[in-house]
Amino acid sequence: MKKFTLLTVILLLFAAKGQARDNVLETRIEKAVRAMTLEEKASLLVGVWEEGGPSNIISSAGRTHAVERLGIGMTTMNDGPTGLRMDTLRKGYPDERYYCTGFPSACLLAATWDDDIVTRVGECIGDEMNAYGCDLLLAPSLNIQRNPLCGRNFEYYSEDPYLAGHTAARMVLGMQSRGVGATIKHFAVNSQQTARVANDARLSERALREIYLRNFEIAVRESDPVAVMSSLNWVNGTRSAASESLLTGVLRDEWGWKGVVMTDWFDPENTGACLRSGNDLFMGGNPRQVEDIIKGVGDGSIAMSDVDRNVRNVLRYIFRSPSQNGLEPTYAPDLASDAEVALEAAREGIVLLKNEGGALPLPEDGQVAVFGVSSYIWYANGTGSADVNKPHVVTLMDGLKSAGISVHPTVDEYYRSYLGSEQVQLRETNTNTWRNWFFGFKRPFEARLNPWFLDLRASDCSAAVVCISRNAGESLDRDYVKGDFLLTDEEESMIGAVCDAFHAKGKKVTVVLNMGSQIDVRPFKDKADAIVLAWQPGQEGGRAVADVLKGDVNPSGKLPATWALSYEDYPSSANFPVHYKFSWEDVKPYAPASTRHTRNLGYTLYEEDIWVGYRWFNTRHKEVVWPFGHGLSYTTFDWSDAKVAKKTADQVTVSVTVTNTGSRPGKDVVQLYSTAPRTEGFETPLRELRAYAKTPLLQPGQSAVMQLKVPLGDLASFHEDSRCWIAPSGTYTLSLASSVEDVRCTVDLTLKKLVTRPVKASLAAPVEPKPTAVVLGDSYSTFAEQIPEGYRCWYFTSPKEGNDVKEVRQTWWCQLCDSLGVDLVLNSSYGGSPVCNTGYHGADATSFSFVTRVEECIALHPDYLFVMGGINDSWAGVSVGELKYSDWTEEDLRSFLPAFCRMLDRIKAEIPDCKVINIVTTGLSGEIAEGQAQACRHYGIKCVSLHDISKGLGHPDAAGMKAICSQVLEAIR
């Protein structure tokens, strides 16, 4: 009792101290907000993207503005998910190099299923941040691995939201225990890289909440990260960075989180909408956004209270940051000890996928023949912002040698000389360009292997190891082609030939996979005796793989995602881009219309709904190659005595005894899946991961009692109709399993009462693809800066002219689209009317830009196409002499207006169902207009001549616009 009272007093004292500290902080924030001018507030909300970086670190990803007058200093942010990313140079120290540790990729960390090691990686990153003066890390990334081709899968954790969220939380806790901040990103639904700034993820609220927000919810609940980065993509028709329901409704109101939200590094089109939605900080930051904020407050479109709210959130982060609390960088992180943690993490996450006939560990005697260029050109992690400037990378070959594995020297020499000459040839391609930074360096093809050479090696070596690898990163997804998801012919024949030669001599072959997510393993999964998934295992990875191959480390990694039999089996494969040709245009904030309206580029339908990964395969009993959670060991484990150890009103603890029954020390992972009682009309997955735990290293014969805690609320599913999380009453099966398909024991849990949790934020339902109208022509250049959201508009290069209509919504095309309920694309910028041979400003209707615009319109498959402009002999550039337009035959049309005719031919052939209306707004009257109508009649196209309304060559006023709209509507009907 005495003890209890003392403990209570101590806890109360701590709480009071914390409260007092918070009060001081809040008072300081309020004081600063009162003292700041609007200009200072606006600049605080917009970051600086500075290549050169601040003085302490040579290259940061960004920083916040200082307000020196008020003693508010700048803070520094760096990527990223596999370690601290910065340049190796420091100002004033040209001869020194400053490195950071390259930790294993996120996919490997998730495969450890080990809270302790992930936390320790986070701690090391936090220490390195302090050493280099970085306040906030732009990591971890925890988006769902929805499809194996997503380019960023290596920096994401899992296809399962619990594993992703819980692993991210360990990283955050580790980092933040060192006083620095972590940023969980990219909020939300950032599971595709293709057209990453334009893509609208369209999904049900259930899928959003159960899969794509759940990971973030768990990370927020378990680790309270300092920051959240909103994603580049859109969700159900709203850009994430401008989604009030996501950023304020869900994140703050429902989850009670109080940190700072920043944009990803782009320049969203609508500063005001982002700011209002609760996106506090604009990163990397564009000075124009500062002006937008000042202007917005001036004209009342941005409320000062919203600015102040965001400023408070930013200041809360700044005032707590290490640099603002006097922490001086030492520039001397303990890289040697961090490398050991990187090595340990890699050892924990390597997955032994297959091991037949005791192929591994490698035989202790004899030499090993090592094949594959990937054994030398080894990927420690993926490309882009999650790549780290690390002091070294231990390749597979380096690792094998340093582990004392005897590698056959002739094979080694053969590869070294082959790679030497190949890399000379690639020297000109593999330079430091942005393209290579994003997509990685080119690598040589596989070396040819001579059958007699293989035959000799099969005789004089005791085993073979073959390595193949893949790389990927942000901005681009992988592709379903040979050399990416599929093996190249050379890889396939290399593995086949090595297996044939070695098997003929009774020797085993191990395939090592160095990659961040799945490939097609059909060509070799039955041939290879052992398959080891090394992932992209960080700078020490080669050592870790060698330890596993040699048997010094008993593998204990488990798959965080399913490996299906074929790509088509993945439920998202019906809705994911393949064979996409990269365009820099698509990564700009204003992607071309043709991108925005193309399925899987501009929008992606998440038709598989909640049935992502194992939820699909397991529930539908679909055969896979390796299920979620799978991973082999060199020893065996027995699981016994599973029971509900404790049950409180809101949590259940399940325990199970795990015993090492084999002959080697090893670790096992207990995975706990729940199966809900059946609810009529509402399907839930057969199993869903709710908790997991990794045993300590168990010696042969040794046991450990594992305890797994599940909050009862976590058993719930989201019911859209009642807008509530519901765990129905009844009996739940809690399966203790070694993979989602390998259940070792079960316990029943009965909920007497249903558990419910209503939600507050109303999330938009997926936007149904609306009919599309394209306006091809030049009637809106004056409105370039005021195009409202919902009207997609990309080409603004036309010159501005005066206009009597001051409000863009008054234009005939905005009004028209509102009446028709269509999504509008304005397609212009070729500088002229499409139907004449030469446009004004010298553009030629047969020119590249014109042809491109027409082709773009066709590619959009619009429901309506409004072609602006008309025939004008001065533009047509042909002399029609005495010939009256009204007398033109089709032949005349073709010879005098070839571009017009070609355009209409293409349109009729490609988009026959499209309603095409030719709109002649200005300048044309009488005979010319008649000729125009005649031309359209030949093509069965309606023509609206608006000369009378549109004041000749000038622009119509508001009333004129209204009249135009009703005439065009009439023509359509």
Smaller CB distance to ligand BGC: residue 79 or 159?
79
Smaller CB distance to ligand BGC: residue 296 or 440?
440
Q: Which amino acid is at 746?
A: T
Residue 124 CB, nearest distance to ligand BGC (Å)? 19
Smaller CB distance to ligand BGC: residue 127 or 264?
264
Smaller CB distance to ligand BGC: residue 387 or 714?
387
CA atoms within 13 A on the CB side of 716: 24
Q: Please give the C-alpha separations between residue 175 and each of 134, 140, 179, 182, 314, in angstroms, as whole numbers.
A: 12, 10, 7, 7, 19
Looking only at residues 437 through 496 of this chain, which bind ligand BGC when binding is defined by CB under 6 A? 474
The sign of the torsion formed by the CA atoms of 143, 146, 149, 153 equals: positive
Q: What angle do CA 289, 291, 293 make, to 5 degrees?
A: 70
Phi-psi region of 86 (alpha: psi -120 to 50; beta: other; left: phi over 0): beta
Classified as helix, coil or strand, 712 is helix
Looking only at residues 678 through 717 of this chain, which bind ligand BGC when binding is defined by CB under 6 A? none
Residue 152 CB, nearest distance to ligand BGC (Å)? 8
Cα–chain center distance at 410:
43
Beta-carbon contacts of 194 under 8 Å, excluding residues fewer than 6 positions away, are 476, 477, 577, 580, 586, 600, 601
Residue 138 CB, nearest distance to ligand BGC (Å)? 4
Cα–Cα distance, 327 to 123 (Å, whole number): 17
Cα–Cα distance, 206 to 313 (Å, whole number): 30
Smaller CB distance to ligand BGC: residue 241 or 343?
241
Residue 264 CB, nearest distance to ligand BGC (Å)? 5
- Is there binding between residue 57 and ligand BGC (CB under 6 A)? no
Residue 191 CB, nearest distance to ligand BGC (Å)? 13
Q: Which of 45, 58, 61, 175 binds ligand BGC (CB under 6 A)?
A: 61
Smaller CB distance to ligand BGC: residue 200 or 264?
264
Q: Are 183 and 85 in contact (CB under 8 A)?
A: no
- Is there binding between residue 387 and ligand BGC (CB under 6 A)? no
- Is there binding between residue 264 and ligand BGC (CB under 6 A)? yes
Smaller CB distance to ligand BGC: residue 386 or 624?
386
- Is there binding between residue 138 and ligand BGC (CB under 6 A)? yes
Smaller CB distance to ligand BGC: residue 536 or 781?
536
Cα–Cα distance, 385 to 941 (Å, whole number): 51
Smaller CB distance to ligand BGC: residue 86 or 825?
86
Looking only at residues 589 through 648 of this chain, which bind ligand BGC when binding is defined by CB under 6 A? none
- Is there binding between residue 135 and ligand BGC (CB under 6 A)? no
- Is there binding between residue 103 and ligand BGC (CB under 6 A)? no
Q: Which of 212, 265, 319, 692 binds ligand BGC (CB under 6 A)?
A: 265
Residue 539 CB, nearest distance to ligand BGC (Å)? 20
Q: Are 282 and 263 in contact (CB under 8 A)?
A: yes
Smaller CB distance to ligand BGC: residue 283 or 943?
283
Residue 154 CB, nearest distance to ligand BGC (Å)? 13
Smaller CB distance to ligand BGC: residue 281 or 532?
281
Residue 153 CB, nearest distance to ligand BGC (Å)? 14
Classified as helix, coil or strand, 219 is helix
Strands 181-187 and 227-230: parallel
Cα–Cα distance, 621 to 404 (Å, whole number): 44
User: What length does the chain have?
Assistant: 973
Helices 451-460/409-425 angle, 10° precision: 140
Q: Are 282 and 262 in contact (CB under 8 A)?
A: yes
Residue 537 CB, nearest distance to ligand BGC (Å)? 21
Q: Are 82 and 125 in contact (CB under 8 A)?
A: no
Question: Which structure tokens are listed for 616?
Answer: 């699909």
Q: Are 626 and 594 in contact (CB under 8 A)?
A: no
Smaller CB distance to ligand BGC: residue 138 or 530?
138
Size of the site for ligand BGC (CB under 6 A): 9
Residue 265 CB, nearest distance to ligand BGC (Å)? 4
- Is there binding between residue 185 and ligand BGC (CB under 6 A)? yes
Question: Which structure tokens are listed for 428?
Answer: 């000109």
Classified as helix, coil or strand, 364 is coil
Q: Please give the C-alpha separations between residue 510 and each of 48, 369, 399, 466, 493, in angstroms, as whole numbers.
A: 49, 10, 16, 6, 15
Residue 185 CB, nearest distance to ligand BGC (Å)? 6
CA distance from start to end of the chain = 85
Looking only at residues 666 through 685 of this chain, which bind ligand BGC when binding is defined by CB under 6 A? none
Cα–Cα distance, 819 to 826 (Å, whole number): 17
For residues 53, 54, 55, 56, the Cα torsion angle rounded to the nearest 10 degrees is -90
Cα–Cα distance, 603 to 197 (Å, whole number): 11
Beta strands in 474-529 (DSSP E): 508-514
Q: Are 113 and 558 in contact (CB under 8 A)?
A: yes
Smaller CB distance to ligand BGC: residue 227 or 533?
227
Residue 151 CB, nearest distance to ligand BGC (Å)? 11
Nearest to 372 by CA among 464, 461, 455, 501: 464
Question: Which structure tokens are listed for 119?
Answer: 């936390």
Residue 952 CB, nearest distance to ligand BGC (Å)? 49
Smaller CB distance to ligand BGC: residue 79 or 856?
79
- Is there binding between residue 149 and ligand BGC (CB under 6 A)? no
Q: Which of 40, 79, 210, 280 binds ligand BGC (CB under 6 A)?
A: 79
Residue 761 CB, nearest distance to ligand BGC (Å)? 25
Residue 432 CB, nearest distance to ligand BGC (Å)? 17
Smaller CB distance to ligand BGC: residue 145 or 618?
145
Smaller CB distance to ligand BGC: residue 306 or 474?
474
Strands 624-626 and 563-564: antiparallel
Site map for ligand BGC, 749-788, x if CB under 6 A? ----------------------------------------
Residue 84 CB, nearest distance to ligand BGC (Å)? 12
Q: Are 159 and 561 in contact (CB under 8 A)?
A: yes
- Is there binding between residue 385 and ligand BGC (CB under 6 A)? yes
- Please report, as ranges, the residues that interact with ligand BGC according to CB under 6 A: 61, 79-80, 138, 185, 264-265, 385, 474
